[in-house]
Chain A
Amino acid sequence: MKKRTVTILGWSAVITLAATAFFGIVVTPPDVLQRQYARFLYLHPPMAWVAYLAFGIAAAASILYLWPRTRRMAFDALALACVESGVLFTGLVVVTGSMWAHPVWGTYWVWDARLTATALMFVLFLGYLALRRVGGSPEQVAKRSAIAALVSFIDVPIVHFSVLWWNTLHQGPSVLTPGLSSRGVHGAMAWTMLLSFVAFTLSFAWMVARRMELERLRLGGASRTLEEQLVARRAEGVPA
């Protein structure tokens, strides 16, 4: 991706995030039931969306890397960047969810299907990141990681449904009542929520672009001598 595009992406993310913060804190009213805690609506769902999007793209990039005809190191860098961002956002989803759940549900954690599946997804992809640190040539790491990403991603729907059935077959929802969950989001709140989805998606895209560039430099640096790297750095106009 061109430097200019990445810069535009970054500034778009900053502007939309700032707008989300303004609308979320100043413009939108508090909720009748959840009061100020409803403002988590502009943080938690978009983060969850970004996390699932990140792991989905990572799995697709891993397939493209494993397929001999489409094998490029760029797909490995994309998968790595997506998993790192995905793990970060999944961690934030769990934390913001707990912060919202404590005052609203009266507990930081329930063994709800969605919560448990998200937490497991976090652990699954932490394993991917640990596996990347094992070592070996860039091609070995890339192939090993692509297989791990794929094997982990296949597990996500199985985990989701098994935890869902585990919960619903075992006991009905005791905290999230249908009356509470069925309430819609309207007006300024709905628009702010939509804006938050755009803002977090742009932030994710910017993070991925920057991380891919970093990975490209790292791989390039690993294959060049120090002198060659200094020459390349000077050519960019950066004092070495």
Chain B
Amino acid sequence: MLRDAWAVFAKDLRIEAKTRVGLWQVLPFAVIALVTFAFALGPGKSALSAAAAGMCWVGVAFSSVLVVGRSQGIEREHGVRTAQRLAGIDPAGVFLGKTGAVAVQLAVIEAVLGAGAVGLLGYHVHRLWLLLAASVLATIGLAAVGTIYGALTGAARARETLLPMLVLPIVIPVLIAGVRCWQAASVASGPRFGVWLSVLGAFAVIYVAAGVVLYGQIEEVQ
């Protein structure tokens, strides 16, 4: 399973590195979303810095829909799905590989948005380890649930509208917990964050496990 996962992970990232769809389309979208939120909130520095964490995570959540859509688009092209089945690749491996590739792309988006928040919105990082831990857990959760729903809607005619409708409500706990952790990371001490890290960890574990168990059945309906 892990060997299959690594093969799919490397294949997806190689395709992204060559086509650069993420770099030229998804990343600019995430930055535009962040800037648009800033325009909506006004130029007040305090309002912007207070909302910076929320703006970043909403940007990441919206971008995740595009990244997942693209990740499943790769599978639809050139009969990749059929080829993987014929090659006997473990569905759980496909799920883990695709989740990993989506997670890497989301991590890049988070890094850019985080830098944007520091540079443009006055967001301060006091506890880098908390920021990184929350980001890693949230990214895995987002990628796992996105990959499950991306595969479920992959063959659908209206997948572009269906995917955000399914993914965005389900990732609300990640959004809440991610924002709280980033807010806690912006001060030297203060708000409790243990419970939010637990939410992110539980979400990631539950949906990675669900994906590993269910992905074989999901592939059957595609």
Residue of B157, B173, B217 with most chain A CB atoms under a 10 A cut-off: B173
Residues 165 to 219 of chain B near chain A (Cβ within 8 Å)? 165-166, 169-170, 172-173, 176-177, 180, 191-192, 195-196, 199, 202-203, 206-207, 210, 214, 217-218
Residues 141 to 167 of chain A near chain B (Cβ within 8 Å)? 143-144, 147-148, 150-152, 154-155, 158-159, 161-163, 165-166
Cα-based distance from A140 to B217 in the complex (angstroms): 10
Name the residue on B nearest A139 (C-beta).
Answer: B221
Contacts of B214 in A (CB 8 A): 66, 147, 150-151
- Of the A-B pairs whose beta carbons lie under 8 Å apart in the complex, a sample of 9, sorted by A's number, is A124-B169, A124-B170, A127-B165, A130-B166, A134-B153, A143-B217, A143-B220, A147-B217, A151-B149
Name the residue on A nearest B165 (C-beta).
Answer: A127
Contacts of B210 in A (CB 8 A): 150-151, 154
**Do A162 and B173 have beta carbons less than 8 Å apart?**
yes
Name the residue on A nearest B169 (C-beta).
Answer: A123
Interface status of B2 (Cβ within 8 A of chain A): no
Cα-based distance from A16 to B180 in the complex (angstroms): 47
Chain B: interface size category: 20 to 34
Beyond A154-B206, A154-B210, whether A134 also contacts B165 by CB under 8 A is no
**Do B165 and A135 have beta carbons less than 8 Å apart?**
no
Interface status of B87 (Cβ within 8 A of chain A): no
**Do A165 and B165 have beta carbons less than 8 Å apart?**
no
Beyond A147-B214, A150-B214, A162-B199, whether A134 also contacts B162 by CB under 8 A is yes
**Do A136 and B221 have beta carbons less than 8 Å apart?**
yes
- B157's contact among A135, A144, A163, A169, by CB below 8 Å, is which? A135
Cα-based distance from A123 to B196 in the complex (angstroms): 23
Name the residue on B nearest A158 (C-beta).
Answer: B173
Beyond A120-B172, A151-B170, A166-B180, whether A66 also contacts B217 by CB under 8 A is yes
Interface status of B156 (Cβ within 8 A of chain A): yes
Name the residue on B nearest A141 (C-beta).
Answer: B221
Beyond A134-B155, A148-B152, A151-B149: 9 further Cβ-contacts under 8 Å?
A127-B169, A131-B156, A131-B166, A134-B153, A134-B156, A134-B157, A154-B206, A154-B210, A165-B199
> In terms of DSSP, what is the predominant structure of the interface of chain B?
helix
Interface residues as binary, B142-172 with A (CB distance below 8 Å gives 1, 0 otherwise): 0001001100110111100010011001101
CB distance from A83 to the nearest CB of B (A): 14
Chain A: interface size category: 20 to 34
Contacts of A123 in B (CB 8 A): 169
CB distance from A117 to the nearest CB of B (A): 9
**Do A155 and B170 have beta carbons less than 8 Å apart?**
yes
Contacts of B192 in A (CB 8 A): 169
**Do A144 and B202 have beta carbons less than 8 Å apart?**
no
Contacts of A150 in B (CB 8 A): 210, 214
Residue of B169, B180, B192, B220 with most chain A CB atoms under a 10 A cut-off: B169
Beyond A134-B158, A155-B173, whether A144 also contacts B199 by CB under 8 A is no
CB distance from B173 to the nearest CB of A (A): 4
**Do A152 and B176 have beta carbons less than 8 Å apart?**
no
Contacts of A163 in B (CB 8 A): 172-173, 176
Contacts of B173 in A (CB 8 A): 155, 158-159, 162-163
Residues 50 to 91 of chain A near chain B (Cβ within 8 Å)? 66
**Do B165 and A144 have beta carbons less than 8 Å apart?**
no
Cα-based distance from A159 to B206 in the complex (angstroms): 13
The 5 A-B pairs with the shortest beta carbon distances in the complex, nearest first, are A162-B173, A134-B156, A127-B166, A123-B169, A140-B221
CB distance from A58 to the nearest CB of B (A): 16
CB distance from B161 to the nearest CB of A (A): 9
Cα-based distance from A62 to B148 in the complex (angstroms): 16
**Do B169 and A147 have beta carbons less than 8 Å apart?**
no
